Amino acid sequence: MLTRDERSPTYGQEHVEGNVSDFIESTFASRYVAEPLPRYQLSEYGVPAHVCYQLIKDVRALDATPKLNLASFVTTWMEPEARDLMQDALDVNYVDTDEYPSSTEIQNRCVSILAKLYHAPSVAGEEGRGDPVGTATVGSSEAIMLGALALKKAWQTRRKAKGLDTSRPNLVMGRETHVCWEKFCRYFDVEERYVYAEEGRYCATAELLEPLIDENTIGVAAVLGTTFTGEFEDVQAIDAMVDRVNAKNGWGVKIHVDAASGGFIAPFIYPDLEWDFRLSNVASINVSGHKYGLVYPGVFMENYLGSTERSITLNFSKGASQIIGQYYQFLRLGFGGYRKIFLNLEVVRKRLRRAIQLTEHFEILSPEVGVPVVAFRLTTLTGSDGKPHHRMYDEFDLADRLRMRGWVLPAYTMCPNAENIKLMRITIREDMSVQMADQLIIDLKNAIRWLDTHFIFTAEMAERMQKKLSLERLDSSTFNSDDFTVVRPC
Ligand SMILES: *Cc1c(COP(=O)(O)O)cnc(C)c1O
């Protein structure tokens, strides 16, 4: 029964007749949905929980669906049991090791599993390289900062022992390395020395890195799976080069391998590829649990050899959930489980690669060996008359068109000095089945077909436009790109 609230003198003015909102629990009958709420400052009294839930859910409703986000390496599917365990640990601050010793124990198991996977020598002093040390970090940036800091410290120690100058450290790497490497150099006053990518070569090579190394080089960063094309840098060749350089000059240059994505792929499907602690100059490795470690975002692992400091993270507090999720995956899948999943991804990768090639609209830029991605760009199109057609659209327009179907397959430009190359990359994650891949290809073809009908410019049209322009004596500066935006092929 609805009663009139006699105590409220304003009743009836702000509410619909006969409706006493205080008694109605329905979210959309509450006044909060009919009033703008302060967005950038605290409101005075807050809102009820169910309203709060709905309002925030609605804010998020326009976001992409994570499963359809083909740009990201980050895990979008885990088993419900893993979710449960991770949810249970939401209130655990990992850093309180006395109160939550199980989290530390689980982290140590994960570190040990990875150390073994990366062929770290297990006995102190063996091969003169010491015990493996590892830690979970909040992010890849933190992991890489730590690895690079260890290189810098070791370099300083070596130089100081010889009474040499330590004021001008540098780090040698390819320009395709992740932005966190640049950050490290800026934050910790290290000069960055790059090998730049170019058309046809999207990775640094040992030969190109070598001349950049000198006595002030703290180390070389090698990437196992670049973010642009998924390619593995040849860490074995880099190691052999560093060996030579060190032997010749009496330096102690070491390598950090950024294996954020490749660190989980290589051991399972390319076990013979030597990129890890089997190589004598590899001092540290980082890997992202939230990429091919198959855990929801927030966990990275770092392994060092011969480090003396044990409490080495930059960040203090962090949740324990991701560490627990990682251990769940290790225990649940074992070596064989990870291998099976990655072999499935290879099937999907090959199928997508082939289908994209068959469209004849694209050139594939990702290599056959690497992390499971397909990177590609539009090719120059030849019309049925054999003459070149000028596309009036690019990879960015194609990305927009695909977004209409829900796919997030963004276009991007290659790293500095090769940024004239536009490309797209499909990241194949655990939850992409062949069925989903086939649907993607259908949608990709449809998008291309639509763009071709609406935005193509034939040689004939170019000629006609040229004539028109010269007749009207217009120079190229008045030749506005708007003239071209929607041109139908004849
Ligand atoms: C993803 C990635 C990073 C950084 O990881 P985030 O999850 O984006 O913080 C660093 N290096 C490489 C090679 C990566 O693929």
Instruction: Please determine, for residue 486, whether its predicted confidence score (pLDDT) is greater than 70.
Output: no
pLDDT digits (tens, 9 = 90+) for 59-112: 999 999 999 999 999 999 999 999 999 999 999 888 888 888 899 899 888 988
Residue ranges of E strands in 345-480:
362-364, 373-378, 381-382, 388-391, 411-413, 422-427, 456-457
Reported pTM: 0.86
Average pLDDT over residues 384-407: 87
pLDDT for residue 51 is more than 60: yes
Q: CB within 6 Å of ligand 1 — which residues?
A: 73, 139-141, 178, 180, 223, 225, 227, 258, 260-261, 288
Close Cβ partners of 210 (under 8 Å, ≥ 6 residues apart): 241, 245
Greatest extent of the chain over all pairs of C-alpha atoms, in Å: 94
Task: Kindly report the protein residue whose alpha carbon is nearest to atom 2 of ligand 1.
Answer: 260
Mean pLDDT in residue range 351-357: 97
Please report which confidence band the pLDDT of residue 23 belongs to, taking 50, 70 and 90 as the band edges: low
Determine which helix (DSSP H) or strand (DSSP E) holds 471, and give its type and residue range.
helix 459-471
Q: pLDDT tier at 2 (50, 70, 90 boundaries)?
A: very low
CA 63, CA 297: separation in Å to the nearest integer? Answer: 17
The minimum-distance atom of ligand 1 relative to the CA of 259 is 13
pLDDT of residue 485: 35
The pLDDT score that the predictor gives to residue 180 is: 93
Best residue for ligand 1 mutational test, from 75, 140, 292 (most atoms within 8 Å of Cβ): 140
Report long-range pairs for 405-410 (Cβ below 8 Å, ≥24 apart): 405/443, 405/447, 406/64, 406/65, 406/68, 407/68, 407/70, 407/440, 407/443, 408/64, 408/68, 408/69, 408/70, 408/71, 408/72, 409/70, 409/71, 409/440, 410/71
Residue 351 has pLDDT above 70, yes or no: yes
Number of neighbours of residue 462 by Cβ within 10 angstroms: 15
Q: State the pLDDT at residue 410.
A: 84
Q: How far is the CA of 477 from the centre of ligand 1 (A)?
A: 43
**158-196 CB burial, b ≥16 within 10 A, e <16:** ebeeeeeeeeebbbbbbbbbbebbeebbeeeebebbbbe
User: Under DSSP, is residue 117 helix (H, G, I), strand (E, B) or coil?
Assistant: helix
Res 162 pLDDT > 80: yes
Mutate to test the pocket of ligand 1, among 175, 288, 296, 315 (most ligand atoms within 8 A of CB): 288
For position 259, what pLDDT does the model report? 96
Name the average pLDDT for the chain.
Answer: 86
CB atoms near residue 482 (< 10 Å): 7
Q: Report pLDDT for 128.
A: 45
CB atoms closer than 10 angstroms to residue 284: 28
* Atom number in ligand 1 closest to CA 224: 13
Residue 355 clears pLDDT 90, i.e. is over it: yes
State the distance from the centre of ligand 1 to the C-alpha of 366, rounded, in angstroms.
Answer: 18
301 pLDDT tier (thresholds 50, 70, 90): low
Among the ranges given (292-296, 342-346, 368-372), the one the predictor scored with the smallest mean pLDDT = 292-296
**What pLDDT shows up at residue 24?**
62
pLDDT of residue 304: 57
Residue 164's pLDDT band (cuts 50, 70, 90): very high
- For ligand 1, the distance from its centroid to the CA atom of residue 484, given in whole angstroms, is 39
- At 302, the pLDDT band (50, 70, 90 cuts) reads low
Cβ atoms of residues 396 and 422 within 8 Å: yes
Q: Encoding tokens for residue 456?
A: 């193509």
Q: How far apart are CA 55 and CA 61, in angstroms?
A: 10
pLDDT over 90 percentage in the chain:
65
Q: Which one has a higher pLDDT value, 51 or 460?
A: 51
Domains of the chain and CATH, by start: 4-59 (no CATH), 80-338 (3.40.640.10), 341-469 (3.90.1150.160)
DSSP string, 268-322: HH-TT---STTSTTEEEEEEETTTTT---SS-EEEEEES---S---S----BSHH
Q: For residue 9, name the pLDDT band (cuts at 50, 70, 90).
A: very low
Residues 301 and 114: beta-carbon distance below 8 Å = yes
